[in-house]
Amino acid sequence: MRGTMNLLIGRFLNYMINTKQASENTVLAYKRDLLNLESYLNSSGWQEIEAASTTALMAYVLYMHKNGKHAATVSRNITVIKNFYKFLYYERVTTHDPAHLLKAPKFTRQPAPKLSPGDISNLLETEQGITTDAKTIRNRAIVALIASTGLNSSTLIDLTLGSVNCSESTLTYEHSHEQHSAKLPSSTLKLLETYINTSRTEILQRANSCDAADSSAPLFVNMNGQNLSRQGLWKIIKEYGQSQAQPNLNPRILRGATKND
The model's pLDDT over 162-183, given as tens digits with 9 standing for 90+, comes to 999 999 999 999 877 788 999 9
Task: List residues bridging with 103 in a β-sheet.
Answer: none
| Residue 2 pLDDT | 42
User: Is 80 exceeded by the pLDDT of residue 208?
Assistant: no
What's the CA gap between 202 and 133, in Å, rounded? 10
- Model pLDDT for residues 92-142, shown as the tens digit of each residue: 999 999 999 998 776 566 655 667 777 777 777 754 445 578 999 999 999
Backbone angles phi, psi at 26, to 5 degrees: -65, -45
Tell me the backbone φ, ψ of residue 236, rounded to 5 degrees: -60, -50
Integer Cα distance of 253 and 261 in angstroms: 14
Of the ranges 44-53, 91-100, 173-182, 205-214, which one carries the lowest mean pLDDT score?
Answer: 205-214
CA distance 229 to 170: 24
All domains in the chain, ordered by first residue: 2-90 (1.10.150), 117-260 (1.10.443.10)
Instruction: Round to whole Å and give the CA distance between 147 and 149.
Output: 6
Say which range, 190-194, 217-221, 249-253, has the weakest mean pLDDT: 249-253
Phi, psi of 97 (to 5 degrees): -105, 105
Is the model more confident about 65 or about 23? 65
* Residues 38 and 51 sit within 8 Å (Cβ to Cβ): no
Q: CB-based contacts of 42: which residues, under 8 Å, 6+ apart?
A: 2
